[in-house]
Structure 1
Amino acid sequence: MLHPLNNSGISAKKRINQNMTISFEGKVAIVTGAGGGLGRCHALELARRGAKVVVNDLGGSVDGSGGSSEAADKVVEEIKALGAEAISNGSSVTDDAGVANLVKQTMDAFGRIDILINNAGILRDKSFAKMDQKDWDLVVDVHLAGSAKATKAVWPIMKEQQYGRIMMTSSSSGLYGNFGQANYGAAKLGLAGLMNTLKIEGQKDNIKVNTLAPVAFTRMTENLMPPEAEAMLKPEFVSPGVMILVSDDAPTGTILCAGAGVFAAAQVVEADGVYVGRDNLTAEKVLENWDQITDFSNSKPFFMGGEQTGKFFEKASGK
């Protein structure tokens, strides 16, 4: 049986009400990697809807080198021009002291943290055979470990508040693969795995955790896409979906794919499977049932791993 929160997390009444407005009045949001691209658009949209925003950005290049506070400061100026409140922070999400400073600066300025959008990222693309270990380590550190560090730092604050909304940023490269992005893809799918555990651990404290898989023309992707894609794939066409993932009535455990004004949920699903038997079990017996083992016509997602284990026990018991 699917966990009830796995369906959508948003009540039917809320979904039907077409006049509802998502507001972040009184909320404080941290957006990492918000000096440009997707992060900037997320930060601006949160501010338009009333949030106080902490614009975090190391200000480095696409490959993670260098650093400058200029980009974050410019976004803060844009937010203030909207009449909203914002501060900038130049910490790296890979640095423990920097992440601690990010949280302290936010608490000193605003007294609470309601939303964390883990958006910071870099690229070091190479085919796996040619990839240096340092290129693997740095990409995984920024995307996966960096998101985990920022999340870990805000978690006790959100628990005490009995309120928190956290968003990871994954990618189609993680969900489905992409040539030359083994490091990036591994980190991005790892973020979905992190979400899957945190959605369970956060339930009792009203902490909801979701994941975005965006398609956008940004500084990180401009060399991977034709120039004509820019007009269709503006970051602004992704951020509306983000507002739902971090809203009061957010789902939890949802992977939302978004780009060019198109939105689609993604799930890890499992075929119904077949009990082959335990007596004299051989690889040949498994192979004989391969068509049924790989038949996804009755596939379904699970909210937690224990549900899959329960299914295996049922099938193995002949139920």
Structure 2
Amino acid sequence: MPDADDIAPRKDEAAAWFRTLRDSIVEAFEALEDSHADGPFADEAPGRFEVSPTVRRSDDGSDAGGGLMSVMRGGRVFEKVGVNVSTVHGTLGARAQAAMAARKGLPGMAEDPRFWASGISLVAHMRNPHVPAVHMNTRMFWTPQAWWFGGGSDLNPCLEYAEDTAHFHATQQEYLDPHGPEIYPRLKEWADEYFFIPHRGRARGVGGIFMDDHCTGDWDADFALTRDIGRAFLPAFVPLVERRRSQPFTEAERDAQLVHRGLYAEYNLVYDRGTKFGLETGHDPDAVLMSLPPLAKWR
């Protein structure tokens, strides 16, 4: 495990990777907007990301890091998509300390509650209900007691196509298998458990991969796995967009999409750890709540 002298450049390396991944995704999504030539919404102007800085303030009002919020609204393909990166630092409040100490079994957090975190977070809600919504995030977290990685991606179709689900999972497995044949099955099962909505008794989508608190003690290996979780995202998702974006759809299918978005909103507001952590630690609420859909409905 890296000592105190080694971890600073590794923090920089992780933060730089999350920004690089963000740039590649923004470029790919704007290219999808440009290439949408037929089918619903093809006669509209292609969407573009609006980019704005985000700032985290500590309890005393001092600068505690920030990042970039990149949001596209009302595109030809994307109804709303956000791709955010941030690198923040500060001290954990009592509630966050207690939650992490309980989940991670870390002693000494109350004596030294400093933290540093960097990551990328993406959620895409699509115009065409045949195109699945999607989520992806990866992150690195550090405290004086430990460091770890987390994140993953999952697919959220309102109208499921078996071949799309199979492609999404097979691509992720392709990127994860070089890290060990046990990795993909374990992260798939973890995603199935994590992205479950208890009060509805159902999953919010068709799963994907997920991990948290990942620290084997080998920083390079753990960071390589985290990078490949991010690298798998575009080849897993973009072909599904290209396959479905020109399909015609009915009002009933649009209605099903809006109802399904209600599940997404419920999960993110009630259960998602990242949402809770971001709001509890004073990060920009607009960036934290970027994941919420622009329109949703409930029966």
TM-score (norm 1): 0.27
Structure with bigger strand share is 2
Q: Scaled by the length of structure 2, what TM-score is found? A: 0.28
